[in-house]
Protein backbone atom coordinates (compact mmCIF):
# COMPACT_ATOMS: atom_id res chain seq x y z
CA UNK A 1 0.00 0.00 0.00
CA UNK A 2 1.21 3.47 -0.84
CA UNK A 3 -0.24 6.59 0.75
CA UNK A 4 1.14 9.53 -1.28
CA UNK A 5 0.64 13.03 0.12
CA UNK A 6 0.98 15.78 -2.46
CA UNK A 7 0.58 19.55 -2.57
CA UNK A 8 2.72 22.66 -2.85
CA UNK A 9 5.39 23.60 -0.34
CA UNK A 10 4.14 24.37 3.15
CA UNK A 11 0.72 22.71 2.97
CA UNK A 12 1.71 20.17 5.61
CA UNK A 13 2.67 17.08 3.62
CA UNK A 14 5.63 16.17 5.82
CA UNK A 15 3.88 17.09 9.06
CA UNK A 16 0.85 14.96 8.23
CA UNK A 17 3.10 12.14 6.96
CA UNK A 18 5.05 12.13 10.23
CA UNK A 19 1.83 11.97 12.25
CA UNK A 20 0.50 9.17 10.03
CA UNK A 21 3.77 7.33 10.38
CA UNK A 22 3.68 7.61 14.17
CA UNK A 23 0.31 5.86 14.13
CA UNK A 24 1.18 3.29 11.44
CA UNK A 25 4.93 2.71 11.85
CA UNK A 26 4.60 -0.96 12.67
CA UNK A 27 3.23 -1.46 9.15
CA UNK A 28 4.70 1.45 7.11
CA UNK A 29 7.89 3.28 6.29
CA UNK A 30 8.03 6.96 5.38
CA UNK A 31 9.66 8.61 2.38
CA UNK A 32 9.95 12.40 2.22
CA UNK A 33 10.81 14.13 -1.06
CA UNK A 34 13.14 16.61 0.66
CA UNK A 35 14.98 13.77 2.41
CA UNK A 36 15.43 11.91 -0.87
CA UNK A 37 17.01 15.07 -2.31
CA UNK A 38 19.45 15.14 0.65
CA UNK A 39 20.23 11.41 0.36
CA UNK A 40 21.20 12.09 -3.25
CA UNK A 41 23.63 14.83 -2.11
CA UNK A 42 21.28 17.68 -3.02
CA UNK A 43 22.39 17.23 -6.62
CA UNK A 44 19.15 18.67 -8.01
CA UNK A 45 17.76 22.17 -8.16
CA UNK A 46 14.16 23.07 -8.87
CA UNK A 47 14.10 23.43 -12.66
CA UNK A 48 11.56 21.37 -14.55
CA UNK A 49 14.27 18.87 -15.53
CA UNK A 50 15.46 18.55 -11.93
CA UNK A 51 11.90 18.20 -10.62
CA UNK A 52 11.26 15.46 -13.18
CA UNK A 53 14.48 13.68 -12.20
CA UNK A 54 13.44 13.75 -8.55
CA UNK A 55 9.98 12.47 -9.51
CA UNK A 56 11.58 9.52 -11.36
CA UNK A 57 13.71 8.73 -8.32
CA UNK A 58 10.73 8.80 -5.99
CA UNK A 59 8.55 6.70 -8.29
CA UNK A 60 11.31 4.12 -8.83
CA UNK A 61 11.99 3.87 -5.09
CA UNK A 62 8.28 3.57 -4.25
CA UNK A 63 7.79 0.91 -6.92
CA UNK A 64 10.84 -1.05 -5.77
CA UNK A 65 9.75 -1.07 -2.14
CA UNK A 66 6.08 -1.77 -2.83
CA UNK A 67 7.03 -4.81 -4.95
CA UNK A 68 8.57 -6.17 -1.75
CA UNK A 69 5.25 -5.68 0.06
CA UNK A 70 6.54 -2.72 2.02
CA UNK A 71 3.83 -0.19 2.82
CA UNK A 72 4.78 3.43 2.26
CA UNK A 73 3.80 6.90 3.31
CA UNK A 74 5.28 9.31 0.75
CA UNK A 75 5.24 13.07 1.21
CA UNK A 76 6.35 14.65 -2.03
CA UNK A 77 4.89 16.94 -4.60
CA UNK A 78 4.89 15.70 -8.16
CA UNK A 79 4.24 18.80 -10.26
CA UNK A 80 4.20 17.10 -13.64
CA UNK A 81 0.92 15.66 -14.87
CA UNK A 82 2.99 13.18 -16.89
CA UNK A 83 4.60 11.74 -13.75
CA UNK A 84 1.33 11.66 -11.83
CA UNK A 85 -0.03 9.43 -14.60
CA UNK A 86 3.07 7.23 -14.41
CA UNK A 87 2.61 6.86 -10.66
CA UNK A 88 -0.99 5.74 -11.03
CA UNK A 89 -0.04 3.32 -13.79
CA UNK A 90 2.97 1.73 -12.09
CA UNK A 91 2.04 1.71 -8.41
CA UNK A 92 -0.52 -0.70 -7.02
CA UNK A 93 -2.76 -0.16 -4.00
CA UNK A 94 -2.09 3.57 -4.32
CA UNK A 95 -3.87 6.34 -2.40
CA UNK A 96 -3.15 9.87 -3.58
CA UNK A 97 -4.06 12.52 -1.05
CA UNK A 98 -3.91 16.12 -2.19
CA UNK A 99 -3.43 18.75 0.51
CA UNK A 100 -4.16 22.42 0.01
CA UNK A 101 -3.95 25.56 2.09
CA UNK A 102 -4.69 29.20 1.44
CA UNK A 103 -1.66 31.30 0.51
CA UNK A 104 -2.17 33.56 3.54
CA UNK A 105 -1.70 30.49 5.75
CA UNK A 106 1.29 29.28 3.75
CA UNK A 107 2.92 32.67 4.25
CA UNK A 108 2.37 32.41 8.03
CA UNK A 109 4.11 29.04 8.24
CA UNK A 110 6.78 29.68 5.60
CA UNK A 111 9.66 28.51 7.81
CA UNK A 112 11.87 27.85 4.76
CA UNK A 113 11.15 31.40 3.47
CA UNK A 114 10.25 29.93 0.09
CA UNK A 115 7.25 32.16 -0.54
CA UNK A 116 8.83 35.23 1.03
CA UNK A 117 11.82 34.88 -1.29
CA UNK A 118 9.68 34.02 -4.33
CA UNK A 119 7.37 37.01 -3.93
CA UNK A 120 10.35 39.32 -3.40
CA UNK A 121 11.95 37.85 -6.57
CA UNK A 122 14.99 36.51 -4.70
CA UNK A 123 14.29 33.00 -5.98
CA UNK A 124 12.48 31.58 -8.98
CA UNK A 125 10.85 28.31 -9.94
CA UNK A 126 8.50 28.10 -6.97
CA UNK A 127 5.42 26.00 -7.55
CA UNK A 128 2.31 28.02 -6.88
CA UNK A 129 4.08 31.34 -7.51
CA UNK A 130 5.90 31.37 -10.84
CA UNK A 131 5.36 27.71 -11.75
CA UNK A 132 1.73 26.88 -12.35
CA UNK A 133 0.38 24.18 -10.10
CA UNK A 134 -2.12 21.75 -11.54
CA UNK A 135 -4.37 20.23 -8.93
CA UNK A 136 -4.41 16.45 -9.29
CA UNK A 137 -7.56 14.92 -10.73
CA UNK A 138 -9.28 11.89 -9.29
CA UNK A 139 -7.41 11.81 -5.99
CA UNK A 140 -8.47 9.38 -3.34
CA UNK A 141 -8.88 12.29 -0.93
CA UNK A 142 -8.65 16.09 -1.03
CA UNK A 143 -7.81 17.84 2.24
CA UNK A 144 -7.62 21.47 3.32
CA UNK A 145 -4.96 22.16 5.91
CA UNK A 146 -5.57 25.77 6.83
CA UNK A 147 -5.49 25.22 10.57
CA UNK A 148 -2.49 25.37 12.85
CA UNK A 149 -0.40 22.31 13.70
CA UNK A 150 -2.48 21.47 16.76
CA UNK A 151 -5.62 21.02 14.69
CA UNK A 152 -4.15 19.11 11.75
CA UNK A 153 -4.68 15.76 13.51
CA UNK A 154 -8.25 15.72 12.24
CA UNK A 155 -6.80 15.28 8.73
CA UNK A 156 -4.54 12.46 9.93
CA UNK A 157 -7.48 10.66 11.51
CA UNK A 158 -9.62 11.21 8.42
CA UNK A 159 -6.95 9.60 6.20
CA UNK A 160 -6.78 6.56 8.47
CA UNK A 161 -10.56 6.32 8.66
CA UNK A 162 -11.01 6.53 4.86
CA UNK A 163 -8.24 4.10 3.96
CA UNK A 164 -8.73 1.57 6.72
CA UNK A 165 -12.48 2.18 7.19
CA UNK A 166 -12.01 2.47 10.95
Query: For 134-164, how does the pLDDT look when each residue is reduced to its tens digit (9 = 90+)?
Result: 889 889 999 999 876 667 888 999 999 999 9
Q: What is the per-residue pLDDT across 9-28, written as a single tens digit (0 to 9) for each?
A: 999 999 999 999 999 989 99
Of 141, 143, 140, 142, nearest in space to 154 by CA: 143
Provide the pLDDT confidence category of residue 66 given band limits of 50, 70 and 90: very high
Number of domains in the chain: 1
In order, the DSSP letters of 38-104 are HHTTT---SSHHHHHHHHHHHHHHHHHHHTTT-EEEEE-----HHHHHHHHHH-SSEEEEEEE--HH
Confidence of residue 166 (pLDDT cuts 50, 70, 90): low
The CATH number linked to 123 is: 3.40.50.300
- Domain residue limits at 97: 2-164
**Is residue 86 pLDDT above 90, yes or no?**
yes
In this prediction the pTM is 0.92
- pLDDT at position 149 is 63
Amino acid sequence: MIIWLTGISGVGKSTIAKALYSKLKKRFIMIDGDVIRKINNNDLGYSKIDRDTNAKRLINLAEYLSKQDINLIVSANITSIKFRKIIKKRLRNFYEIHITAEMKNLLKRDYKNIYKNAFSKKIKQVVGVDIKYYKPKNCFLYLENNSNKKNFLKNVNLIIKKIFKK
